[in-house]
Structure 1
Amino acid sequence: MLYEGVLNKMQTEFNSPIEYYLVFKDSFLNINQVLDRSITIDFIDYECLCCHQRKKIFRQGFCYDCFYQSAEVGDWIMRPELSKAHLGIEDRDLAYETKVQLQPHIVYLALASDVKVGVTRKTQVPTRWIDQGASSAIEIVEVPNRYLAGITEVALKDFFTDKTNWRKMLQNEVGNDDIQAIRNSLQDKLPEEVKPYYTSTDANIIDLNYPVLQYPTKLKSLNLEKTPSYQGTLKGVKGQYLIFEDGTVFNIRSNEGSVVAINVE
């Protein structure tokens, strides 16, 4: 079976295990159904996810021009504390920023390697946790806009990392921290503007199970620029990574905008 198209992050369905799909313009591939099969990935070209021109990708699936012009990749995306739509202040496109920033956001703890703190729109729960490869996650607080979520994350980064150790995550080296107890101890660490949104009652812990037949002991990351053709036996999917039998891992998210041909034998 041959699939060809532009890589976007895998779409997911919350199940046990998580269901993963690579979606192209005219077809889609259910990754769970091709575990333990030989897969060949061939790099063809680039296509910007914004302007759709065949231009080299700069970051996040965008070409250089689009990365510095599109509202979809403003600085507030990675640093939510920089959000200003609640003040009526435009960064690149106030209409877009208002739509995205002025909606309920969740600040959470996730256990993917170590305990990390993060921010996501409420509509992206549990997708955000799946994309990070979290084994479990819990909400700390729900706030009405991205700015309040951002300043909460900044305050809690004094106590927790905001990054996932992708190597530990892919090797399933996950701690056994009691994230419920940790979450319940955080009220005094929240910004004053956020404390009214905190509830001291227990929140639900969401456990996530991934379709992995074999976790790697040693990792090597597939770079399509250096290795434009790769063949291996697929052994699992976790986060946004494909895991192969020889320890090769392929980060779909960091290769968004790559045009590829994928052959499943």
Structure 2
Amino acid sequence: MKVGITKENPVSNRWVDQGASFGIPVLTVDSRYAAGVIESYLSQFMPDKTSWQKMIQSEPEFIDLLREKNKFLAHLQKQTFYLNTTETKKSELIFQPAPDSTLTEIRYPIQAYPKKIKSLKLSPDSMIFDRLTGIKGQYLLFESGAINIRSQSGLQFSLEVLDE
């Protein structure tokens, strides 16, 4: 589980891109800056980074996100956040609990998780011969490891399907 604040959407593209298996709206804020301030505060209680190795290793364990949302909201109710508009003037950051508490489950096409948790890298003169076993977020999963496609921007590659 990790904390992240995204724009309003039923299923956030960011959730999918980062490989989230479950998501729940927590807050509504009026600016990206406000989201960053609150996300930074919440990261004291919950990490804001995902371990990619753990994410591509197996199915995630279920966490009661509604209970976690309520815990976050309880922490936030005790806190006042300010926006520094000038050196002498501060205005309070406004946030509201998200009205929707619908749990979103995101499923990815995964036949099997990698046997070895290893980062595979592409280079202009390399080839990877391996079996594609799934996709999770921005990762292509192979039997021997995973490729973070986002980190490969600028490279062209092709995938070839071979009969077994």
Please tell me the residue identity of whatever aligns with 1:198. P
Matched, 1:140 2:16: no
Matched, 1:172 2:71: no
Q: Unmatched 5+ residue regions in structure 1?
A: 1-114
Please tell me the residue identity of whatever aligns with 1:261. S
Deviation at 1:153, TM superposition (A): 0.2
Please tell me the residue identity of whatever aligns with 2:97. Y
The residue that corresponds to 2:122 in the other structure is 224
Matched, 1:204 2:102: yes
Query: What are the residue-to-residue correspondences of 1:6-155 with 2, within 5 Å?
Result: 115-122=1-8, 125-155=11-41
CA distance in structure 2 between the aligned counterparts of 1:147 and 1:177, rounded to whole angstroms:
28
Contact 2:124 2:155 in 1 (8 A): no
Which SS does the other structure have where 2:68 is aligned?
A: helix
Deviation at 1:120, TM superposition (A): 2.0
Runs of 4+ in 1 over 6 A off after TM superposition: none
Deviation at 1:194, TM superposition (A): 5.0
Deviation at 1:228, TM superposition (A): 1.5
TM-score normalized by the length of structure 2: 0.80
Deviation at 1:221, TM superposition (A): 1.4
The residue that corresponds to 2:85 in the other structure is none
Once the two structures are superposed, what CA deviation does each residue of 1:141-160 show, in whole Å capped at 9, x if it has no partner? 01121011011101101100
Which stretch shows the higher mean deviation, 235-244 or 201-210? 201-210
Q: Unmatched 5+ residue regions in structure 2?
A: 81-91
CA distance in structure 1 between the aligned counterparts of 2:95 and 2:140, rounded to whole angstroms:
41
Which SS does the other structure have where 2:26 is aligned?
A: strand
Which SS does the other structure have where 1:212 is aligned?
A: coil
1:176 to 1:227, Cα distance in 2 relative to 1, 3 A: farther
CA distance in structure 2 between the aligned counterparts of 1:136 and 1:227, rounded to whole angstroms:
38
More strand by share: 1
1:137 to 1:144, Cα distance in 2 relative to 1, 3 A: same
The count of aligned residue pairs is 149
Contact 1:152 1:194 in 2 (8 A): no
The residue that corresponds to 1:258 in the other structure is 155
CA distance in structure 2 between the aligned counterparts of 1:146 and 1:152, rounded to whole angstroms:
10
CA distance in structure 2 between the aligned counterparts of 1:241 and 1:133, rounded to whole angstroms:
8
Alignment RMSD (CA, Å): 2.3
